[in-house]
Structure 1
Amino acid sequence: MSRRAVRLTLASVAIVLVVALVASIVAAFVVVRRPLPQTSGTLHLDGLSAPVSVTRDARGIPTITARTSADLFRAQGYVAAQDRFFEMDYRRHVTAGRLSELVGENEDALEADKVIRTFGWRRIAQEEWAILEPQTKLALQAYADGVNAYLAGKAPSQIAVEYTVLGLQVDTDAPEQWDPVDSLAWLKAMAWDLRGNYDDELSRARTFASVRDVEKVDQLFPTYPQDVNAPILTKADARDEATTASAEHPLDLRDHDVQKALAAADEALSAVPHLVRDGEGVGSNSWVVDGSHTTSGKPILANDPHLSISAPGIWQQIGLRCEQVGDACPYDVSGFSFAGMPGVVIGHNGDLAWGLTNLGADVTDFFLERVNGTVVQRDDGTEPMTIRTETIKVNGGDDVKLQVRSTRHGPIISDVIDLGGTGNSPLPDGTSGHGYAVSLGWTALAPGHTADALLAIDVAKNATDIAKVGRLLEVPSQNIVFATVDGHIGYQAPGRIPIRARVSGEVPSDGTWPRPGWDSAYDWQGYVDPTDMPHVQDPKSGIIVAANQQVTPRGTGPFLTKDWDYGFRSQRINDLLEAATADDGTLGVAEMNTIQTDQHNPYADVLVPTLLSLNIGNDFDDDGQDLLRSWDRVNDTDSPAAAYFAAVWSTILRLAFDDDLPDSESPTGDSRWLEVVRGLLEEPDSPWWDDRSTPGVVEGRDEVLTRAMVSARRQLTAQLGRDPQDWTWGRLHEAAPEHAVLGGDSIPALVRRLVNPKPLQVGGGSSMVDATAWDASSGSYGVTSAPSMRMVVDLGDLDSSTWVNLTGSSGHPASPHYTDQFSAWAHGTTFPWPFTAAGVQADAKDRLTLSP
């Protein structure tokens, strides 16, 4: 599913911008540089108990040193506001369903507000505040106090240039005070973007509307190939939690009104702005090897989360250090944080390093509800819905009233956007006389302890502490890999995972398809016991790879999901690590960095042998095929063969599947589609190969593959030139981060050039270790998601660790640190990451003292 970004239309004020920002070079310089913060000398910060030191390295990355935890987090809030307050403000408006208050009358913003108000992210965050640990509340409050101290007395133009630009169209009053709940609401956005298989669940229902056969749909969602790509763990002793039940009121997905309701739900969810996730390939790589395989004799851990690309990038690098580490002030941690959240999300302390990847557990379900007025059917009776009214304020416009209905399963999301009576799909029998609606069951719609978990992991020392974190990290469900300075490595799967009963019927009841909300047999039966979640410490192999693949072999452990990444990335990492450590070989930080940027193409391994077996028979058209004969199957930036193969792949998908599927289900080319095509190569006469748009002709595999190669040659001739040797993958495949509000095409070019980094050519691709994903259904090869950062931590010498961010540490477009890591990131290089006090001081370029 595509996810619309909310874009502000400022074309009407282009002339004003030219006058304001171009007519006077001096004025333009002042406007864009006015918000840049003071980073050296001394500043006063109310509420501190003692002076706090803030050093920054050559890339503007801060390390904060304080005497108390409260001072530490107060200073972190202050520094975050210095560098990235507009990003924080944008996020809190999105997560509260108040984006229209920030950007004014904008259709995309209003639709996003409606959907998020329906979810009730901020309402849940407010409930969450009440159950957090006291020390977590203190950290969140101190952080908020630091943010507000920075904002005090500043005009919007002193805080961020974005307010100056917005002020040309809407009222931009001084930003409101930061509240701890603003931080918690951001966690709901993270949970949503990393929620697991909801896209696949709706995709199955939409695909069924065209193919009308559950078995045919299942062919497009194949089982994880565990005989080819290994799961994270080789065995598990946790029990399967499913129970058995009978369906009293089955679902008929063929019903037109059911499909209409599903289409409305899908349209509503597509209105949510992407904050961290967009397009194919969102996942992550992480792995850890023990000291028997490393040059330092201690574990080395690597992590690179794959998220949507944006300007600024999602992560803020930071070090947080207590002057004397102890019970009163336990923090000595460095890594990657979110602007708006205290602490470090991914990184290491003096005892332990950890990485996170998306577990992908199925934590959402769509429930079809039979609605009659203000009640819904419940087995043989009815029960009332909960109804509330939300008021959405629009900057410069009229308020918008929104009625939100909810059932026991969750909010009704199909209410949000009216599709005008379109739709077509399969569900329950005997449904005449009932209206349909779609509610969303999602584990994050109950308050949880994720904020507690994020601070607990910052001070974790061992596997016992990580197990505690696993019990607290309820949403989003993440794979945790970790290593300790005393030589241990481990894996922990956390998360609040629903238990679903096995219910007989045409449509599976395991969470892969929408569910009949009127039948209590389909209700969740509780949650998996956290102690039953998969985990391991010090496996015999000395290697753990967690890259979104299946966690345990089928039939073992609790049921988590069927919709995994298909494991081509994870298996490549496993293979590289095993090859490097064979015959007593060892790995260092440099070798780990090399693996992170591996660009070997698994699609080529599957397809190239068959492509080369075919005879095109035309000297011009087979020039592209000739590139494949000597190709090393590496998607480096300068590769002509990689460019040609990408065009072939997207064309194969279009020719084989677009005639059978609705437009919304055009293949994106992710690992699922690689596994689908891998299976179909063994079935050259499968009906999927036949193009139904050519009546009287039945195409097979070889006809489709040959046509795809010819078409790709001609497409690239038009796009890149006649000589295939002039083609390069990088010319097609660019990383172009965009500003969330001011980066779109409707914005005047002057502003776009200010806020959007210049696009860079990159290698890699979907389902590769260097996961610069692209969407084969979009008509573009541009990067949709990518490694949002890269880090490698050597537990034998923490100062030898390395890191790099996507763009830079600053959120101010005029800052040199807005994009000063982008080129290094694009070229696969990293920077030193000192951790010891001596190392940090030696690396410091700016020194700021925050005084009471």
Structure 2
Amino acid sequence: MRSRAFRLTLLSVAIVLVVALVASAVAAFVVVRRPLPQVGGSLEVTGLRDEVTVTRDARGVPTITADNPHDLFLAQGYVAAQDRFFEMDYRRHVVAGRLSELVGENDDALEADKVIRTFGWRRVAERELGLVEDTTRAALEAYAQGVNAYLDGKAPSQIAVEYTVLGLQVDVDAPEPWDAVDSLAWLKAMAWDLRGNYDDELARARAYASVRDVTRVDELFPAYPYDLNAPILSAQDLATPELAAATATSLDLDDSGLQGALDSAQRALDAVPHLVGEGEGVGSNSWVVAGEHTASGAPLLANDPHLGISAPGIWTQVGLRCATVDDACPYDVSGFSFAGFPGVVIGHNADLAWGLTNLGADVTDFFLERVEDGRALRGDQTVPLTVRNEVIKVNGGDDVSIQVRQSAHGPIISDVIDVDAVARAPLADGITGRQYEVALAWTALAPGRTADAVLAMDTARDAEDIARVGRLLDVPSQNIVFATTDGHIGYQAPGRIPVRNTIVGAVPSDGTWPRPGWDPAYDWQGYVDPEVMPRALDPVEGYVVAANQAVTPAGVGPFLTDDWDYGYRSQRIGSQLASAIAAGEKISVQDVGALQNDQHNPYADVLVPWLLRIGIVDTFEDDGQQLLRSWDRVSSADSAAAAYFAAVWKTLLELTFADDLPDGDLPDGSSRWLEVVRGLLDDPASPWWDDRTTPGLLEGRDEILYQAMITARLSLTQQLGRDAGSWRWGRLHSAAPEHPVLGGASIPGLVRNFVNPDPIGVGGGPSIVDATAWDASEGYAVTAGPSMRMVVDLGDLDSSTWVNFTGSSGHPASPHYSDQFGPWAAGETFPWPFTSAATTADAVDRLTLHP
């Protein structure tokens, strides 16, 4: 999560707080503990119709039992506000483009507000409220009632310590009431961070401007390796008809104009705070195994979404139970939700469990627009842009007004930065005096019914119900794996997926490259029919693995994207399951949990054999290579070889590509780069190996591999010491969740130590099943990871397990703020009781809410 937007603003605030804390430890104790919620006894809650019971386990996880849906969701809103209201308030300010209103004058906060106002996330959410089903709207409104019942009559200092800190710098009034649109707008942030391939689309165009060769650009975006890593579904698994794929187009633009326009787009998009996660590592693992192959004789389902790390973590755990489950009150569900949204997003009910992973469908396109005098070229005529004004309030400062323009394709995002940064260049047809503007087409900017999908999932019972969920879940497009207590397993691909014309030309028209907005032939032609989205029930393999890889075999089914994760995680999971099944082993909950923590490194499988062929004479320089000779290729936290290999990989990418790519486009080390390098290793004279900064020298593969190993040895000597045997991967690769407001390096240490859990060195890495990602262009710190882990046993739901990334509470003074972080890092999980008897027996606190 990005939080730079206001950490500098709060530096002076934090210094004042440090002085106050030191001056009066007793007062500090009162200040930080004052917002902690009441979790026992009884409370009167406005709006309830009947009594509601809230029990909490030893980790503070609530199970809410009510007599009707209104009270159930009202109580969920109340409990969420008890535990995490500041997080909810921060999120709603971000997604509404009102960050400056919360934190005051700050250039980065203002830039983020401008971008999000240009997108109009909240405006879309307002339209969605009128689109969702009556029962969904009622749940959203009841949830808001519960949040507001908790806020009623409380001073900001009683709600969260963050308001006390903010109050030292800016005016902090009582938080405004929560409303249903606040919950819906959060879905836009989730969709934004999981939107698909826009980074690759821009990167292709920037790489082309640098290397001027489409073929060489294609080498940096290789095709999915179907021969190496299997898609989610085989041809025999598919239950949907084939939809013809769209491919190939031409983008006939002057290169310099394209580069400038795309750079401006990238800077604008980078200003948006990421609330779920971004970049390499934002994916997920999920799989489901049929009961014939399990120890319990019933299906097993596993899920661990890989998202950005933060304190508190992204998910909240909750159980929602109707006292009597019937048509009038159908909820009996437990799992992971978002603070600020009703229902359970991932989990299980009494009949069905489900997991979600990012499908990664291409749901965004950049359209370059020819604009002059407020009109955009469309075919042989011009049409006016739509214009609206937005006013951004700045806490303690003057209001800022912006003008938002929109083309037929979407908002003009190049308006959110200095217009002089937008490239002005002659067009290919010789017309001059126009500038390229950049518009963003994105499926989430049309109102949808994802909120309906969440609540429909909570009451789903079978594959038919999941198919209905698939028709409702517009954005973000997710892979759904599911299993039922009566023995079925399956897969469903949902999502609103654009259909694009096939236009023959120099580069594809499938959405992988920016598109000329003046040619209507490049417009979206509607959306893929939900009825032809890929799905399967009880596949012959006896399992389904969905870990962001390709969904179907090449050329089968509707076109979803060409920019998949390259499937190394999914292949490892699938091969381990297939081996166990072939050996006749019965897979248990413990086996599945161990597989979630598997740290076998596929990068090593590709690269280590080549590294060991390189001769290194010097015994000091050879120390690292010697580690690789006996390495089991497991990137555990205590592995010296894993540390050395990571340094070699990082250095290899820099030596190979830094001289060819634009500034700021160094490889991040993701699965795409593994596939790029795998393809280059068989071509020792490829131009990519040559270092263009060394005129007169022509480097090849072996020289670069040698230099990568020597440089890595010297680098780790400086970082970890001369003795290679004492190196440890966990000393380089640590998970350090940060508070979104008070967690950054600009904040004094006393405050940081209070709100940030202590970093923990961990194993794993990108494209490893234990996907603790790091960015090779920056360093080794964990940038994203398993935001939770769950394993559901459909034969005995009370035998299921789960763990959250940090803890259930958003209050830094709570014992549950980070009590799950250590177990998470160690690969441990906790029992996940579900039945009424089990949750009652597990409860350590009991709170009665009454009208």
Residue 120 of structure 1 pairs with residue 153 of structure 2: no
Shift of 1:278: 2.8
Question: How many positions carry a matched residue from both structures?
Answer: 847
> Match for residue 443 of structure 2?
443
Residue 160 of structure 1 pairs with residue 143 of structure 2: no
Using the alignment, how far apart are the partners of 1:7 and 1:233 within structure 2?
45
Using the alignment, how far apart are the partners of 1:344 and 1:707 within structure 2?
51
The structure-2 alpha-carbon separation of the partners of 1:766 and 1:244, relative to structure 1 and needing over 3 Å to count, comes to: closer
Using the alignment, how far apart are the partners of 2:782 and 2:802 within structure 1?
21
Letter in 2 for 1:762: V
> Match for residue 106 of structure 1?
106
- Counterpart pick for 2:243 among 240, 249, 257: 240
The structure-2 alpha-carbon separation of the partners of 1:428 and 1:786, relative to structure 1 and needing over 3 Å to count, comes to: farther
What per-residue deviation string (whole Å, max 9, x for no partner) do you get for residues 119-164 of structure 1?
A: 0000000000011100000000000000000000000000000000
**Cα pair 2:764 2:770 within 8 Å, conserved:** yes
**Cα pair 1:637 1:761 within 8 Å, conserved:** yes
> Match for residue 510 of structure 1?
510
**Cα pair 1:8 1:106 within 8 Å, conserved:** no
Residue 782 of structure 1 pairs with residue 781 of structure 2: yes
> Match for residue 290 of structure 1?
290
SS of residue matched to 2:105: coil
Alignment of 1:66-465 (within 5 A): 66-235=66-235, 236=238, 237-242=240-245, 251-418=251-418, 420-421=420-421, 428-465=428-465
SS of residue matched to 2:234: coil
> Match for residue 471 of structure 1?
471
> Match for residue 813 of structure 1?
812
Residue 844 of structure 1 pairs with residue 851 of structure 2: no
Letter in 1 for 2:117: R
Using the alignment, how far apart are the partners of 1:27 and 1:334 within structure 2?
39
Using the alignment, how far apart are the partners of 1:419 and 1:662 within structure 2?
22
> Match for residue 695 of structure 2?
695
The structure-2 alpha-carbon separation of the partners of 1:424 and 1:5, relative to structure 1 and needing over 3 Å to count, comes to: farther
Q: Name stretches of at least 5 consecutive residues in structure 1 with no aligned partner.
A: none
Using the alignment, how far apart are the partners of 1:382 and 1:543 within structure 2?
54
**Cα pair 1:35 1:157 within 8 Å, conserved:** yes
Letter in 2 for 1:238: P
Using the alignment, how far apart are the partners of 2:646 and 2:495 within structure 1?
36
Shift of 1:665: 1.3
Shift of 1:508: 1.6
Alignment of 1:579-598 (within 5 A): 579-598=579-598
Letter in 2 for 1:591: D
Shift of 1:3: 6.3
> Match for residue 57 of structure 1?
57
Shift of 1:432: 2.2
Shift of 1:16: 2.1
Using the alignment, how far apart are the partners of 2:307 and 2:5 within structure 1?
17
Residue 727 of structure 1 pairs with residue 713 of structure 2: no
What per-residue deviation string (whole Å, max 9, x for no partner) do you get for residues 808-851 of structure 1?
A: 00000000000000000000000000001110011000000001
**Cα pair 2:657 2:667 within 8 Å, conserved:** yes
Residue 38 of structure 1 pairs with residue 38 of structure 2: yes
> Match for residue 619 of structure 2?
619
Deviates more, 1:741-750 or 1:125-134: 741-750
SS of residue matched to 1:688: coil
**Cα pair 2:68 2:328 within 8 Å, conserved:** yes
What per-residue deviation string (whole Å, max 9, x for no partner) do you get for residues 374-402 of structure 1?
A: 10000111111000010000000111111
Letter in 2 for 1:575: S
Letter in 2 for 1:239: E
Shift of 1:507: 2.5
SS of residue matched to 1:664: coil
SS of residue matched to 2:688: helix
Deviates more, 1:455-464 or 1:746-755: 746-755
Percent pairwise identity = 72
Using the alignment, how far apart are the partners of 1:822 and 1:272 within structure 2?
27
SS of residue matched to 1:433: coil
SS of residue matched to 1:619: coil
Residue 831 of structure 1 pairs with residue 827 of structure 2: no
> Match for residue 758 of structure 2?
758
TM-score when normalising by structure 2: 0.98
SS of residue matched to 1:410: coil
Using the alignment, how far apart are the partners of 1:419 and 1:786 within structure 2?
37
**Cα pair 1:4 1:270 within 8 Å, conserved:** no
Using the alignment, how far apart are the partners of 1:252 and 1:764 within structure 2?
43
SS of residue matched to 2:766: coil
Shift of 1:274: 1.2
Residue 523 of structure 1 pairs with residue 523 of structure 2: yes
The structure-2 alpha-carbon separation of the partners of 1:487 and 1:14, relative to structure 1 and needing over 3 Å to count, comes to: closer
Letter in 2 for 1:308: G
The structure-2 alpha-carbon separation of the partners of 1:154 and 1:675, relative to structure 1 and needing over 3 Å to count, comes to: same
Shift of 1:18: 2.6
The structure-2 alpha-carbon separation of the partners of 1:386 and 1:288, relative to structure 1 and needing over 3 Å to count, comes to: same
Using the alignment, how far apart are the partners of 1:5 and 1:502 within structure 2?
42
Using the alignment, how far apart are the partners of 1:416 and 1:687 within structure 2?
38
Shift of 1:68: 0.2
> Match for residue 661 of structure 1?
661
Using the alignment, how far apart are the partners of 2:846 and 2:429 within structure 1?
71
Letter in 2 for 1:391: V
What per-residue deviation string (whole Å, max 9, x for no partner) do you get for residues 329-387 of structure 1?
A: 00000000000000000000000000000000000000000000110000111111000
Q: Name stretches of at least 5 consecutive residues in structure 2 with no aligned partner.
A: none
Using the alignment, how far apart are the partners of 1:416 and 1:230 within structure 2?
42
**Cα pair 1:254 1:424 within 8 Å, conserved:** no
Shift of 1:750: 1.8
**Cα pair 1:241 1:528 within 8 Å, conserved:** no
**Cα pair 2:425 2:434 within 8 Å, conserved:** no
Using the alignment, how far apart are the partners of 2:120 and 2:333 within structure 1?
33
The structure-2 alpha-carbon separation of the partners of 1:796 and 1:14, relative to structure 1 and needing over 3 Å to count, comes to: closer
Shift of 1:424: 9.9
Using the alignment, how far apart are the partners of 2:313 and 2:831 within structure 1?
19
The structure-2 alpha-carbon separation of the partners of 1:4 and 1:425, relative to structure 1 and needing over 3 Å to count, comes to: farther
The structure-2 alpha-carbon separation of the partners of 1:378 and 1:420, relative to structure 1 and needing over 3 Å to count, comes to: closer
Deviates more, 1:170-179 or 1:583-592: 583-592
> Match for residue 602 of structure 1?
602
Deviates more, 1:423-432 or 1:468-477: 423-432
SS of residue matched to 1:344: coil
**Cα pair 1:251 1:427 within 8 Å, conserved:** no
SS of residue matched to 1:266: helix
Alignment of 1:632-671 (within 5 A): 632-671=632-671
Shift of 1:430: 3.2
Alignment of 1:536-547 (within 5 A): 536-547=536-547
Letter in 2 for 1:741: V
Shift of 1:506: 1.6
SS of residue matched to 1:168: coil
The structure-2 alpha-carbon separation of the partners of 1:646 and 1:288, relative to structure 1 and needing over 3 Å to count, comes to: same
Shift of 1:240: 2.5
**Cα pair 2:426 2:433 within 8 Å, conserved:** no
Using the alignment, how far apart are the partners of 2:703 and 2:427 within structure 1?
37
**Cα pair 2:375 2:382 within 8 Å, conserved:** yes
Using the alignment, how far apart are the partners of 1:292 and 1:455 within structure 2?
30
